[in-house]
Amino acid sequence: MTAHIVTAYAPTITADPPAWTLAALCLDIDEPEIFYPPAGNDAARVTREAKRICELCPVRTECLTYALDHDEVNYGVWGGLSPRERRQLVPKIGRGKKRRQTPIVHGTETGYYTHRRRGEQACVPCRDASAAIHRIRAERRRNA
Ligand code: SF4
Ligand SMILES: [Zn+2]
């Protein structure tokens, strides 16, 4: 099992997760999907749910800083902010220009949700990472 698979928090972005992720409040939640709200009518409600968790999170600042430093402005709730709210914090890349898409880090849970959010089928490494994290969460709940 590789290191990134055991980092079971919603914005799992890297194969070498920074230490602050261990204190992430979204580490053990049952429905990490809420951090990647689906497009559509329910998006606002689901985003609010994720934001409520972020409000209480001890590493909210670290999470938001990480997202902004790594151009994570297109998908998911990070540091209590939606993509639109995060984009407002970064300099514009030129009006009318299409913002470049954040590359997917495959083999991570974030990769899995980013695929889904884009309406794609997740690649096998991303599916494996997501399944492994779900198994770890289930195991933790059983042992809690
Ligand atoms: S601020 Fe929100 S998304 Fe970031 S680590 Fe905390 S709970 Fe997770
Ligand atoms: Zn992938």
Q: What is the mean pLDDT of residues 91-114?
A: 68
Torsion of CA 135, 139, 140, 141, to 10 degrees: 100
The pick from 77, 85, 86, 133 for probing ligand 1's pocket by mutation, whose C-beta has the most ligand atoms within 8 angstroms, reads: 77
Amino acid (1-letter code) at residue 59: V
pLDDT band for position 80 (cuts 50, 70, 90): very high
The pick from 9, 12, 22, 34 for probing ligand 1's pocket by mutation, whose C-beta has the most ligand atoms within 8 angstroms, reads: 9
Find the residues whose C-beta lies inside 6 A of ligand 1. Answer: 9-11, 24-26, 35, 53-54, 57, 59-60, 63, 77-80
pLDDT tens digit string along 34-74? 888 777 778 889 899 999 999 998 899 988 888 888 777 88
Instruction: Report the separation in Å between the CA atom of 73 and the middle of ligand 2, taken as the mean of its atom positions.
Output: 18
Q: How far is CA 116 from CA 14, 37, 41, 110, in A?
A: 18, 10, 17, 10
pLDDT band for position 16 (cuts 50, 70, 90): low
Of 78 and 106, the structure prediction assigns the larger pLDDT to 78
Residues 6+ apart with CB under 8 A from 25: 53, 54, 56, 57, 58, 59
pLDDT band for position 106 (cuts 50, 70, 90): confident
- In ligand 1, the atom with minimum distance to the C-alpha of 67 is 4
Alpha carbon nearest to ligand 1 atom 7, residue: 54
Instruction: Report the separation in Å between the CA atom of 91 and the middle of ligand 1, taken as the mean of its atom positions.
Output: 23
User: Residue 106 forms beta bridges with which residues?
Assistant: none
